[in-house]
Amino acid sequence: MIQRDINSMYHRALNSLNVGAFGDAEKLFKSVLKSQPNHVGALNLLAITLMSMERFSEAEKFIQAALTISQSSDVSFYNCGIIRKKLGKPSLAIESFTRALALNPNVAETWNNRGTSFNDIKQYQNAISDFDKAISVNPSYSEAYCNKAKSLSYLKRYDDALSVCDKALALNPDLAEACVCRGKVLVELKRYDEALASCDNAVAIKPDLAEAWLGRGNVLAQLRRYDEALEACDKAVAIKPDLAEAWLGRGNALAQLKRYDEALAACDKAVAIKSDLAEAWLGRGNALVQLKRYDEALTTCDKALAIKPDLAEAWLGRGNVLFIQLRYGEAFAACDKAVALKPDLAEAWLTRGNLRLIQLRYGEAFEAYDKALAIKPDLVEAWLGRARSQCHRGLIKEGTEDYQRALALGGDRDIIDYELAAFGAANIPIAMPKSVVTRLFDEHAESFDEHLVQKLSYQTPIKIFNLISSYKSWKPLDVLDLGCGTGLMGEQLRPIAKKLCGVDISSNMLTKAERRAIYDELICEDIIKFLSSHSQTYDLVVAADVFVYFGDLTRVFELVPRVFRHQGYFCFSVEATNESEYVLRTTGRYQHSVEYLRRLAKNYGFVLDVIDSSVLRKESEKDVDGYIAMMHYS
């Protein structure tokens, strides 16, 4: 092909590029290069064509070929920088922009794009310097002001960032990206209504800007308008399905709406798109906690911290999982790290207070709750914790006032009334609220056995079985294990059981019991409901460490005979008191007197055969005294 034909083809390709006919332009530029492989103009413009078609890997190959032939064009280095930036190679992009600036330092866009690349590698001061140089070249460059505001925000210089955002918008009121940035800064300043207005402005200016909808969703989440937040994030992912942060926002909103499986799926989508998004791993961990998959949650929080070691919320997430797993020393260290990184993280002070409360260090617990409430006055759990710390120190009046604050903010009345009763400030209920029992055991199922047996020296199942074994020689029995938990009692009963049925209110405890493969049947149900409605019958009914959650045992004694086949046997433990029929202690557990058990047995047709005094377990390094009773019904 003669040079004239090559030139003609080149100009036709250029015209196609200029009118957006990228496919035609690609074919023509490649034809030019087939005849003249070192045609620098065709290599450069083919790279631009491929960039326009978002085929950046191919574009990089052709721009590098152009630069191999000639390194005299700042535009070529600039385009190479843009391509590498798009390919997620910020350090290489910086090298290209630096070469461009060496050839021509008077192009504001080059300074601006090098600055955004510095932002990508978290060199924020270098980025600010580049944005300032871009502005010095072009004082009206609103985008450079916007990008500078982002750098200042990353450095947590929020007031400065807000001022720079306002300069960008003064230059260009229709710069939607500046409105989004302004909204993010206002969120950090806790000026949520203004932040929402800024994001709404961004959406009005540019309805197809996914980041604007995401910003709106994040603000709505801060305002606890979670349904609207979810709707905004859904719009963001509809516009830009590969925007990982929008999937994260969606996951966070779903978690607040208690749609945890969907929240997990959204966070999984976020990390699939952007595997180094630490906040998405954290969101995933939080969802896993709610789904009670604690080992996975801990691993996921650790993944977030491996990516972003200074993410205070991830340290808090780690601490919360460790707290649930009863690994208190590690939990405390994680919470300390969280508050060191972010002293205004109220939830970290809350968990710190909970840990001190568990350790009976009530003064320190009070101080931690107080700090949480100074930051976040409407944090219900902190008011509850502060109330407990007050009451445990004998400050019942002050504690009652804190409980009332919690109630006014939406705290659970059943829990509050129960705890007030435990501290002697309300009438004693007949049993611990079902919701409290379920939550307690669902949360601690995974670490329950280790904590109870190893740390609290729990021997009740063995002692109950020893009493049963010494009572008489047994032929194989149909046995009902009430409140079976993880199956510690069932392990003892299995050798004498023809059929072994376990009943418990906690599904997580039953999951662990099922792993033991000792039960013929496991049923998730409240034991009173089970006893009153099920038709199966048994020879022996056992309840180990169950009646500490019941005060009035009348219904139990009334209903147990319903499930006996003929002459039935009933063996159980209670914590001991010498006071009235039953008392509720500050531990939240009931204690019963011998006289009360004798009267119940007599009133409901039982013969009390044996009642042994025994140490059941430890509590705060002290023995917990109890009774183990054996009786029969005929």
Could you give the C-alpha distances from 346 to 249, 311, 370, 376, in angstroms and in order? 21, 15, 10, 6
What is the distance of C-alpha 179 from the center of its chain?
Answer: 29
Please state, in angstroms and rounded to a whole number, the distance separating the CA atoms of residues 477 and 494: 10
CATH number of 459-633: 3.40.50.150
Which stretches of the chain drop beneath a pLDDT of 50?
none
CATH number of 1-69: 1.25.40.10
- What's the whole-model pTM score? 0.79
Q: Which two tokens stand for residue 308?
A: 């972003």
Please state, in angstroms and rounded to a whole number, the distance separating the CA atoms of residues 422 and 433: 13
Please state, in angstroms and rounded to a whole number, the distance separating the CA atoms of residues 486 and 324: 16
pLDDT of 176: 97
CB 471 within 8 A of CB 610: yes
What is the distance of C-alpha 80 from the center of its chain?
Answer: 40
Beta strands 497-504 and 477-482, pairing class: parallel
pLDDT of 444: 62
Q: Could you give the 3-state DSSP secondary structure of residue 241?
A: coil
Identify the residue whose tokens are 């300032």.
132
**DSSP H/E element including 108:** helix 108-120
Q: Which two tokens stand for residue 617?
A: 């377990």
What CATH topology corresponds to 328-434?
1.25.40
Q: How many residues does the chain have?
A: 634
Q: Which two tokens stand for residue 58?
A: 């191919």
DSSP notation for 609-623: EEEEEEEEEEETTEE
Q: Which two tokens stand for residue 594?
A: 């011998």
Q: For the chain, where do the domains classified as CATH 1.25.40.10 start and end?
A: 1-69, 328-434
Bridge partner residues of 614 (DSSP) = 626
Q: Which amino acid is at 270?
A: A
DSSP notation for 328-356: HHHHHHHHHHHHHH-TT-HHHHHHHHHHH
* Exposed/middle/buried for residue 129 (C-beta within 10 Å: 0-12, 13-18, 19+): middle
Q: Could you give the 3-state DSSP secondary structure of residue 124?
A: helix
Please state, in angstroms and rounded to a whole number, the distance separating the CA atoms of residues 572 and 136: 83
**276 phi, psi to nearest 5 deg:** -100, 20
pLDDT of 454: 54
pLDDT of 380: 97
Q: Which amino acid is at 384?
A: L
Please state, in angstroms and rounded to a whole number, the distance separating the CA atoms of residues 470 and 462: 12
Beta strands 521-524 and 564-576, pairing class: unpaired
The DSSP symbol for 550 reads B
pLDDT of 144: 98
> Which residues does 234 contact at the CB level (< 8 Å), separation at least 6?
250
Q: For the chain, where do the domains classified as CATH 3.40.50.150 start and end?
A: 459-633
